[in-house]
Amino acid sequence: MKVAHLVSSFLEDGGPGDELVDLAAVSGTTGVEPVVVVLGSSGDRWEVSRLRRLGVPVVELGLAPWDPRAVRRTARVLREHGVDLVHTHRRNADVIGGLATRLGRGPALPLVSTLYTVENLPSNPADRLRRTAKILLRRRVAARTVAISHLQRERYRRFSGTDRGLVIVPNGLADPGLLSADERARVRSARGVADDGILAVSAAPMRRGQGQDLLLDAVSAVPPSVSLTVVLLGDGPLRPWLVSRVEADEVLAARVHFEPRTPHDPARDVIGAADLFLHTARSGALPLPLIRAVALGVPAVASHVGGVPEIVTRGTGLLVPLDADSIADAVVRLAADRALRARLGKGARGHFLATFEARGWAVRLRGVYDEVLARVPAEPVSRPVGSGPATLPPTFFDAR
């Protein structure tokens, strides 16, 4: 089966990036041969280079958004590569892909579309009209719409009045593997973390809505008796302000450290060596940094928003409201209970392997593709997140 993944670029916030490379790397095990079509310029050679090293054809059309030539050029690429099915990612690709699959003398190519954001409910009639138009378009062109979280499914159902044709398949990541004891010790020592100290890491982009201000408030509220080191990874427009706030506060300056992170650095070492992962964003469909943390077996303290509860469960971490004192209390609780951290860390690792590991993701998508190609009628969604053959042995949680 040859599947064309149609994207606008690899730079869109919340769109496919490293995940698509990880999916391509394992697609061959499911009998899927991927082709990637980039409507614009990729803007970043990292993903393109990695895809081509995997033997995946990548076609860059180099067109501006909504260029009228995009439909015919995309249709030509689909014909040239003998594509069986098109999988679109984000709105521009949905529109172009939907039109391109219908060009030609034969029947239209089947199309699958993935939702990437959790939108607020319509605020006025004009907003509702715009949302309705998008939903009607997706219903018209997509045989299946893939939601990556239950929250997306619920919002889509409320907008459209039905969830017919909607399936829930969370995005996945390649397994990064756990750090060895020596690796953990090396990373922690380099950051001055004592044997009995607590290392907490946050890896969210430093911009509005990601909650670093709330995180710093919480760190200030953690009692001095807790030996806490917090590493903030990444960059963004708010970084200068965050740095200046930390430098002006003695408590924060003693606890908080900033480390650069390039866009394609998974920060495996520092996240994997942490005792807990902090995620205080104010929204998010299925945050990739959190998935990476559970993959590395790190328990999380995370805001109860968006699709976060589908990553951070009672068995993998602590969910908290958007309140600094609540976050601080959760940090103190985990810091004081090594056994709880170990149990949640094991639960996190198991949850990743069962639900978010790339091979399971590829298998579930193959099931969606098979249904579409077999023209199985679209029914209201009934399968839960993580459903499919990628499951853990029943004894996984028995050995502690």
Question: How do the domains of the chain map onto residue ranges?
Answer: 2-173+357-373, 181-355
Q: Which fold has domain 2-173+357-373?
A: Rossmann fold (3.40.50)
Q: What is the pLDDT of residue 380?
A: 61
Please list the rounded mean pLDDT of every run of 10 residues in the chain (400 residues).
Answer: 93 71 94 95 78 95 91 96 95 92 85 80 60 63 90 78 85 95 97 95 94 97 97 95 97 96 85 98 90 97 94 97 97 98 98 96 96 85 42 38
Share of the chain above pLDDT 90, in %: 70
Read off φ and ψ for residue 232, nearest 5 degrees.
-100, 115
Q: Are 299 and 277 in contact (CB under 8 A)?
A: yes
Q: What is the pLDDT of residue 128?
A: 60
Domain 181-355 CATH class label: alpha beta
- How many residues in total does the chain contain? 400
What tens digit of pLDDT does each residue of 225-258 get?
Answer: 999 999 999 999 999 999 999 999 999 999 999 9
Q: What is the reported pTM? A: 0.87
Q: What is the pLDDT of residue 53?
A: 94
Q: What is the pLDDT of residue 389?
A: 36
Secondary structure of the chain: what % helix, strand, coil (to 5)? 40, 15, 40
313 Cβ contact partners less than 8 Å away, ≥ 6 residues apart: 347, 351
Burial of 226 (0-12, 13-18, 19+ CB in 10 A): middle
Burial of 31 (0-12, 13-18, 19+ CB in 10 A): exposed
Q: What is the pLDDT of residue 131?
A: 59
Same fold, 2-173+357-373 and 181-355: yes
Q: Report which secondary-structure segment, H or E, holds 239.
A: helix 239-247
Strand partners, 318: 301
Strand partners, 112: 87, 144
DSSP secondary structure letters along 216-237: HHHHHHS-TTS-EEEEEE---T
Q: What is the pLDDT of residue 332?
A: 98
